[in-house]
Each structure stands twice: as structure tokens, then as C-alpha cells.
Copies of this chain bind each other. A is one copy, B any other.
């Protein structure tokens, strides 16, 4: 097969090298190198990455590491941390790393705004804890409901499910979908007198968030809240405070952040307000410190012992040479059940791109599918395909190396799956349908315990891995223009379905292609029948 690769001699050398490995299996590597398991590993603080079960030898690694020089990775990293305008299509910096490490907070306006807002959030957290925030009937707030979508939803959701116990107060829930069933279900279990909504939207114009903000107001009014007291039940996190004010949020309850924080980095910023309130300022600071520690490792370590760099190089190796289209991410920890969805957004929104930073069409593959689920549960789902399917799907396993007395079984299950994928069946007497050929690669990441600090490290590790991928592919990971077209068309179609004038129009005016036209007719037909 013809490999389509970025320009540069190292890419070509890797292509030649790739051919030489086609007959070497993972089993062969382990048989030939007794110390492989120790050697191809990186330990940093509470993290331990074993990347020995990958299709690489020392020459592969050496060449991949040279790619870092060829793409001037050092310079890209320096630009990221210095706050340069690296998101060139939107003419913005990407300042999420500065949010977790004061050392990078060089912009004084940015710094001052952040510190002011954080002080106000600490006050709000204290007031909530002391029962000083009350609803319309003067009862103390007992339930927080986050209204947001995308980064304003999945990040706080991940933190709440990973780091809180069910008995923590106040209770925290999430509404995100445009479908009204989402709000209906959450609100059915809440009490209007004691519920505070946190409306998180960078632009404060997001369709889903505005719609659910309206639903929350309707629900409060139906629950006996006087219109004049509505503002007691809302807090906003936004980069456009004027828009929140215009929507009726009290200015004392608006927390603002800088436009240079992209949606999928919300959890580090004021947009992660719900997470800060849910776990409290002390734990949230530990979360930031974990991320900052990983950033320091990323900036200071040699590429060969640099976790996000090694992981990104392996990603490129599979994606551009083995032509894999997907990676599975499987945390063996129920509290990380939201991690796969979080990473799907992070990677597929950052690196699902087809043009270079300077707008040239790419001939090589960029980010593929990231999917997954929680082990051991998904061993009963897609693992059949990982072991015996025709497609090579590299896997990231994550598991705590400490735990309660039951943990040995969970730990053993995780390590066993990685070993089974690598080794395959060894009993030659098995019938063909029972044979696993093995030779399937995976990374295994151990962390001591799921603390706020470790969670911060994990998320920063994946973020910097996505960033390094983007540098190697020469794409901008910080924009997401591809989502705009669908939003525009949706607005047009909705007007055609609901606008009174348009309803009178001829059917054939409903849409520009015969499929869309027919689908809209279907909706109108059903509506008219009702």
C-alpha cells in the first residue's frame, strides 16, 4: 500500500523501517528482549506508563523521536506555554496551561481577572456550604444543576463522578441535551425551592444552553417561584458577561473568563465553575496542581522519557503507518466512566482536521476515532472484536495500582487483557474459532489512586498528547470550524418547520435536496395529523 505521509526525510525513513518490521510480532520482541517490560516504561510521580506492548524496536523509537526535531516540537511547546497566538484561524492564544500554573500567568489583565473570579467562587462555595445561599422561599440551596453542553458539560460531569461520593452535599446534576427529556428527568428529582442552576456557556448564545436555561426558568415559575425571585436561582459562567446580564442573570452571580479558553479546556477555567463548587477549592487546587506537574514533566523531559510525547509518537506510528482508524480507551475504574466520552471530544474535535495550519489540504491521515468504556464491563462488549476482529485497534488501559481488598481482581483483569492481546492463545490444539493470534498492541497506564491530583495529571497527559499529535500532523488543534455548517442549516430548517409564513409555502420550498425535503414533509405531515 502507498503510504501518504507528511513531507520530511524522517517520515520516509520510518516508511522504509516499517517494511522491515512486517514479520516481527510482539511475542518475538518479548522473547528477544528479557528486559523489555522494564525498559519501555516511564515513571513520573504516581503515574507509571508501560508502552512495551507496542510494535516498536529501538530503531523505531529513535526515528520517531527524530520526528520531534523535524517538526520543531520544542518551538511549538514554547509557543503554547508562552501564550503566543497559536490558534491562528481564530487569532487567539490557547491559555489553558496558564490556568493551572501561575508561572505561566504572564498576562496581568488575564491574571487579575482569574484571581478575582476565583476569590468570588471561593466565597460562593463557602456561602453554599454554610447554607447562606437561599432560594425564593428562603430555604437554603441543596441541589446544583449545571446547564451546559460540550466542554461546559462533560468536564465538570467527569470531575463530579470521579471525585465525589454520593453523600457529598449539595447534590450536583447536569442538563445538556436540546431534547427536553434530559431536563425533565433531572428536574423531576429536584425541588424548585432549593435548586441553584449554573449556566455555563462561553458565548452565552449556545442553542442547547439557552433552551435549557429557559426550561429551568419555566420550571421554577411553575414551582411557585415569583418572577422577581428568579435571579436567586441562577449563576452564570461565561466569556460574555454582558450577554448573561441581558438574559437576566444578576451581575453578582456572573463569573467571567477569557475568550482564549477553548470549550474543550473548560474544566481548567471559570467555565468549570460547577466542578469547583462540587469538589471545593482545596480539592480543585490539587486537581490543577496535578495538571501543572504533568505540564512541567512535558516541558522539561527529554522526548524519550516524556509521557505525552511517547504516547503521541505511538499514535502517529499506528495511524500513519499501520493505517489504524480507531483507538479504544478503557479505564478499569467505575468512577472514570465519563473519561472515554471526555477523550472522544478532546481528540476528535481537536484533531479531526483536513487542512494544515496554513490552510493546505492534507494528503495524510489525522485524528481517527477514539471510543471506549469502563472495564471490566466492556470486556463483555467490544473486547471480542479487539481479540478476534479483522481490524487492528490499539488500546489504552488505565488502572489504579492501589485499592480495597477487592481490587486485586480488577487489577488482574486489566493486566490480563493487555497480556492476552499481546500473547494470544498458546494451546495449539484449539479449534480455529477459539484461537486468538495475539500480536495486538496496547499501552497500560498505572496510577496509584484516583485523587484530584492524579485526575489532573491524567487529563493534562491526554491534552498534551493531542497537542503533540497536532504538531506532528501540522494542524491547528484549537479550532473546530467543522461544526458551524450543521448549526446554520439547522437554523434554516427550523424556520421552515415552525415559521408561520413558511408553513404556508409549497412543499417543494422546504429544502434544497429531495431527501431533506421529504424528511421535512414527514415531520409536517405527522404534525398536521396530531
Interface residues of A, Cβ cutoff 8 Å to B = 1, 30, 33-38, 40-41, 48, 50, 52-53, 89, 149-151, 153-154, 165-167, 176-182, 185, 188-189, 207-208, 211, 263, 324-326, 332-335, 341, 344-345, 348-349, 351-355, 359-362, 364-371, 373-377, 379-391, 393, 401-402, 404, 406-413, 415-425, 431-437, 444, 446, 448, 476, 479-487, 489-494, 497-498, 511-520, 522-523, 526-527, 530
Partner of A389 from B30, B353, B431 at Cβ < 8 Å: B353
| Minimum distance in angstroms from A255 CB to a CB of chain B | 21
Query: Could you tell me if A37 and B332 are in contact, using CB atoms closer than 8 angstroms?
Result: no
| Minimum distance in angstroms from A91 CB to a CB of chain B | 12
Query: Could you tell me if B516 and A415 are in contact, using CB atoms closer than 8 angstroms?
Result: yes
What are 22 of the A-B contact pairs (CB < 8 Å)?
A37-B515, A50-B518, A166-B185, A177-B376, A180-B406, A181-B333, A185-B334, A325-B326, A344-B382, A348-B384, A349-B384, A349-B385, A352-B387, A354-B437, A359-B431, A380-B483, A388-B481, A416-B489, A416-B492, A420-B485, A425-B485, A433-B479
Query: Could you tell me if A154 and B381 are in contact, using CB atoms closer than 8 angstroms?
Result: yes
Knowing A380-B149, A388-B353 are in contact, say whether A434-B526 is a contact too (CB < 8 A): no
Q: Chain B: which residue is nearest A446 at the CB level? A: B522
Knowing A514-B34, A515-B50 are in contact, say whether A383-B334 is a contact too (CB < 8 A): no
Query: Could you tell me if B511 and A419 are in contact, using CB atoms closer than 8 angstroms?
Result: yes
Query: Could you tell me if A390 and B408 are in contact, using CB atoms closer than 8 angstroms?
Result: no
Most B Cβ at <10 Å: residue of A352, A486, A489: A486
Knowing A424-B485, A493-B412 are in contact, say whether A366-B390 is a contact too (CB < 8 A): yes
Query: Could you tell me if A369 and B391 are in contact, using CB atoms closer than 8 angstroms?
Result: yes
Query: Could you tell me if A419 and B526 are in contact, using CB atoms closer than 8 angstroms?
Result: no
CA gap between A371 and B384 in the complex, in Å: 15
Partner of A514 from B52, B359, B388, B424 at Cβ < 8 Å: B52
Query: Could you tell me if B401 and A486 are in contact, using CB atoms closer than 8 angstroms?
Result: no
Chain B residues, CB < 8 A from A354: 388-390, 437
CA gap between A366 and B367 in the complex, in Å: 23
Knowing A369-B391, A408-B523, A482-B436 are in contact, say whether A334-B188 is a contact too (CB < 8 A): no
CA gap between A128 and B355 in the complex, in Å: 60
Most B Cβ at <10 Å: residue of A332, A419, A448: A419
| Minimum distance in angstroms from A265 CB to a CB of chain B | 14
CA gap between A34 and B513 in the complex, in Å: 8
With A179-B335, A211-B409, A389-B482 known, 11 other A-B pairs at CB within 8 A are A38-B518, A89-B434, A165-B188, A211-B406, A341-B373, A353-B389, A354-B390, A359-B432, A402-B526, A409-B494, A412-B497
CA gap between A179 and B178 in the complex, in Å: 33
CA gap between A401 and B519 in the complex, in Å: 9
Chain B residues, CB < 8 A from A35: 514
Knowing A182-B334, A377-B149 are in contact, say whether A494-B412 is a contact too (CB < 8 A): yes
Q: Chain B: which residue is nearest A449 at the CB level? A: B526
CA gap between A326 and B324 in the complex, in Å: 11
Most B Cβ at <10 Å: residue of A179, A367, A530: A179
Query: Could you tell me if B359 and A433 are in contact, using CB atoms closer than 8 angstroms?
Result: yes
CA gap between A515 and B326 in the complex, in Å: 24
Partner of A52 from B48, B381, B479, B515 at Cβ < 8 Å: B515
Query: Could you tell me if A389 and B348 are in contact, using CB atoms closer than 8 angstroms?
Result: yes
Chain B residues, CB < 8 A from A401: 522-523, 526
Query: Could you tell me if B448 and A526 are in contact, using CB atoms closer than 8 angstroms?
Result: yes
Chain B residues, CB < 8 A from A417: 486, 489-490
Knowing A38-B518, A385-B352, A431-B89 are in contact, say whether A189-B208 is a contact too (CB < 8 A): no
Chain B residues, CB < 8 A from A37: 513-519
Closest 4 CB pairs of A and B: A352-B385, A150-B380, A37-B514, A37-B515
| Minimum distance in angstroms from A253 CB to a CB of chain B | 24
Partner of A326 from B165, B369, B388 at Cβ < 8 Å: B369
| Minimum distance in angstroms from A11 CB to a CB of chain B | 16
CA gap between A411 and B497 in the complex, in Å: 9
Q: Chain B: which residue is nearest A381 at the CB level? A: B345
Chain B residues, CB < 8 A from A189: 166
Query: Could you tell me if A481 and B433 are in contact, using CB atoms closer than 8 angstroms?
Result: yes
Query: Could you tell me if A388 and B333 are in contact, using CB atoms closer than 8 angstroms?
Result: no
Query: Could you tell me if B390 and A364 are in contact, using CB atoms closer than 8 angstroms?
Result: yes
| Minimum distance in angstroms from A331 CB to a CB of chain B | 10
Chain B residues, CB < 8 A from A516: 37, 415, 418-419
Query: Could you tell me if A41 and B344 are in contact, using CB atoms closer than 8 angstroms?
Result: no
Query: Could you tell me if B406 and A493 are in contact, using CB atoms closer than 8 angstroms?
Result: no
Query: Could you tell me if A367 and B385 are in contact, using CB atoms closer than 8 angstroms?
Result: yes
Chain B residues, CB < 8 A from A355: 388, 432-433, 435
Partner of A518 from B41, B390, B448 at Cβ < 8 Å: B41
Knowing A326-B369, A354-B390, A482-B384 are in contact, say whether A408-B334 is a contact too (CB < 8 A): no
